[in-house]
Amino acid sequence: MLTRNCLLLFLWILVNEGSVSSLHPPSPPLGRGRTGREHARSSVGPMRNGAAGFQRVKRGWVWNQFFVLEEYMGSDPQYVGKLHTDLDQGDSAVKYTLSGEGAGSIFTIDQTTGDIHALRSLDREEKPYYTLRAQAVDINTNRPLEPESEFVIKVQDINDNEPKFLEGPYTASVPEMSPVGTYVTQVTATDADDPTYGNSARVVYSILHGQPYFSVDPKTGVIKTALPNMDREVKEQYQVLIQAKDMGGQLGGLAGTTTVNISLSDVNDNPPRFSKSFFHLRIPESSAVGSAVGKIKAHDLDIGKNAEVEYTIVPGDGGAMFDITTNEHNQEGIIVLKRPLDYESKKAYTFKVDASNVHLDPRFQSFGAFKDTATVKINVLDVDEPPVFNKPSYVMDVYEDTPAGTIIGAVTAQDLDASSSPVRYSIDWKSDMDSYFDIDPVEGTISTNELLDRESISQHNISVVATKLNSPVLTSRVAVTVHVLDINEFPPELASPYETFVCEHSKVGQVAASQNIFIFLPEGGV
């Protein structure tokens, strides 16, 4: 192939006599016929006779631009072309010289024949052309026969570079459930070959792996979705292998590949779902208001904000007693106690809880309601509690002359637990240090322990303790107030002795007054 190309190039140079590239304006080329030869003989003669300057003649250079194939791998130097002037009659009287870029190191010239060879392999991508200068001189006098001319040796491109993805591997994302043809990303391959010569740099894109999910535009490298309703919850990550092939994708072209990692981003196309339809929880009746009863959870296959769940208690049995909140970290529903519990009053509560998405996507509401419902049953656990008095406090009255041992009242306490333990009563000795009262431990009746004196203590405040027989540590207390009632046990007395006078003949009923002391005389006088 190289030999054939060089031969054609040489023939083109020989035929194309009218093309001359020079720094100086070229003269019209001489022909290859008799007129040219005669002119050459007439012009070269004076130069051979040692003329001080060359005679102005029409230029006879027969080149314009040479070509050399890049990446030449032959054992001999690559033939580039032939320099020739019509002044050269083939008698070895003309010497050709070469100067400029690469002269002597890259390009060499046969001084006699004008043949140019490349001494080493060239790379068009490194340097696409070389500018050189040629000179034809008299071989004897070394004087120029013509002005120096400039010409170009162009390195002709071959397809020796494959397309490369300089920015790969690529990462891209596209929303799940996107329609067919949705833009994903664009890949670009570059080819170092000559884009102006042939198809060496014309790249065509194709997809080697990743079908039928994605497609690539063969000209632009734009990647789009090719399959409808791709579901992130089914498959989230895709690895697509893209090929760029030069020569317009034809057979024999060079190819490069890159990887595109495509992930499906989430959209809210899934409602929350409870793992079961019935949740059974338990809570002690002694739990404080605001404490957590238990947790339930609805799972959402989506992620991020699309998986945020809001829980609500359906109005009904449990709405007044319980509330539910959402744990923002794990989207669990936490049931919280709103009011105190009493096992003896109500032993169980049953209600429904709805779980729904916070952020809805209107595109998928046609799929159905984006919520789920579960039933929650909460059993109240009985707690061993202290006895409960039937009154918050007691008030009792007793006359001060009541004999010791007299019952003045009773207190009553009950064990409301399911065990219904018997209750025992006692008086806190700290509240009755002088032991004025006593209590029956079984019946709860309170009696006096000695005579009471209202004039000494008119009111007694004692504390009665009730204790469960089967659990003595569980006790409760109640305040008992005892009022001591007065009796008429003392006659009136004068504060001090008084002296009073009365007339001897005073009538019956007549008042005798002395110092505010009034004495009523009985019938019959004194």
Residue 43 lies in a domain: no
pLDDT tens sequence across 235-254: 999 999 999 999 998 888 99
C-alpha 38/C-alpha 87 separation (Å) is: 9
C-alpha 225/C-alpha 210 separation (Å) is: 10
> What whole-number percentage of the chain has pLDDT above 70?
82
Are 348 and 368 members of one domain?
yes
The pLDDT of residue 12 is above 60: no
Residue 322 lies in a domain: yes
The pLDDT of residue 199 is above 90: no
pLDDT value for 225: 97
Residue 9 confidence class, pLDDT cut points 50, 70, 90: very low
pLDDT value for 519: 52
Are 368 and 280 members of one domain?
yes
Residue 513 confidence class, pLDDT cut points 50, 70, 90: low
Q: Which of 102, 131, 156 delimits the end of a domain?
A: 156
Residue 525 or residue 198, greater confidence: 198
The pLDDT of residue 296 is above 90: yes
C-alpha 427/C-alpha 412 separation (Å) is: 13
C-alpha 164/C-alpha 256 separation (Å) is: 6
Closest CA to 361 of 269, 228, 298, 299: 269
C-alpha 143/C-alpha 53 separation (Å) is: 8
pLDDT value for 500: 67
C-alpha 342/C-alpha 333 separation (Å) is: 24
pLDDT tens sequence across 300-322: 999 999 999 999 999 877 778 99
| Cβ within 8 Å of residue 46, ≥6 positions away | 55
pLDDT value for 288: 95
pLDDT value for 520: 52
The pLDDT of residue 331 is above 60: yes
Are 280 and 373 members of one domain?
yes
Are 261 and 278 members of one domain?
no
Which CATH number does the domain housing residue 315 bear?
Answer: 2.60.40.60
Residue 470 or residue 35, greater confidence: 470
C-alpha 202/C-alpha 195 separation (Å) is: 7
C-alpha 441/C-alpha 424 separation (Å) is: 5
Q: Does residue 438 contact residue 399 with C-beta atoms inside 8 Å?
A: no
Are 480 and 405 members of one domain?
yes
Residue 69 lies in a domain: yes
pLDDT value for 26: 35
The pLDDT of residue 24 is above 60: no
The pLDDT of residue 25 is above 90: no
The pLDDT of residue 35 is above 70: no
CB atoms within 10 A of CB 453: 12
* Lowest-confidence region among 110-124, 146-160, 265-279: 146-160
Q: Helix, strand or coil for residue 211?
A: coil
Largest CA distance in the chain: 210
Residue 200 confidence class, pLDDT cut points 50, 70, 90: confident
DSSP summary character for residue 219 = T
Exposed, middle or buried by CB within 10 Å (0-12, 13-18, 19+), for 225?
Answer: buried
- Mean pLDDT value of segment 262-285: 95
The pLDDT of residue 298 is above 70: yes
pLDDT value for 426: 95
How confident is the prediction for the chain on average, in pLDDT? 83
Residue 50 lies in a domain: no
Q: Which residues pair with 129 in a beta bridge?
A: 154
- Mean pLDDT value of segment 174-192: 95
| Cβ within 8 Å of residue 101, ≥6 positions away | 130, 131, 132
C-alpha 476/C-alpha 479 separation (Å) is: 11
Are 185 and 94 members of one domain?
no
pLDDT tens sequence across 365-421: 776 678 999 999 999 998 888 999 999 999 999 999 899 999 999 999 998 877 788
Q: Helix, strand or coil for residue 193?
A: coil
Q: Which residues pair with 222 in a beta bridge?
A: 186
Strands 393-399, 471-485: parallel, antiparallel or unpaired by DSSP? parallel
pLDDT value for 195: 86
The boundaries of the domain holding residue 463 are: 388-485
pLDDT value for 161: 86
Residue 525 or residue 330, greater confidence: 330
C-alpha 79/C-alpha 9 separation (Å) is: 10
Tokens of 256: 């490069």
Residue 476 lies in a domain: yes
The pLDDT of residue 215 is above 60: yes
Q: Which of 321, 347, 381 delimits the end of a domain?
A: 381
Residue 179 lies in a domain: yes
Are 279 and 374 members of one domain?
yes
Q: Does residue 355 contact residue 368 with C-beta atoms inside 8 Å?
A: no
Are 236 and 280 members of one domain?
no
Are 453 and 377 members of one domain?
no
Domain count for the chain, please give it.
4
Are 350 and 254 members of one domain?
no
Q: Does residue 116 contact residue 122 with C-beta atoms inside 8 Å?
A: no
> What whole-number percentage of the chain has pLDDT above 90?
55
Exposed, middle or buried by CB within 10 Å (0-12, 13-18, 19+), for 498?
Answer: exposed
Are 322 and 355 members of one domain?
yes
Q: Which of 116, 132, 156 delimits the end of a domain?
A: 156
Q: Does residue 509 contact residue 520 with C-beta atoms inside 8 Å?
A: yes
DSSP summary character for residue 48 = H
DSSP summary character for residue 450 = S
Phi, psi of 369 (to 5 degrees): -65, 130
Residue 523 confidence class, pLDDT cut points 50, 70, 90: low
Place of tokens 């070229």: 26
The pLDDT of residue 37 is above 70: no
CB atoms within 10 A of CB 517: 11
Q: Which helix (H) or strand (E) holds 38?
A: helix 34-48
pLDDT value for 168: 86
pLDDT tens sequence across 437-479: 999 999 999 999 998 989 889 999 999 999 988 888 889 999 9
Residue 319 lies in a domain: yes
Residue 341 confidence class, pLDDT cut points 50, 70, 90: very high
The pLDDT of residue 90 is above 90: no
Are 127 and 110 members of one domain?
yes
- Mean pLDDT value of segment 173-201: 92
Query: What's the whole-model pTM score?
Result: 0.58
Residue 17 lies in a domain: no
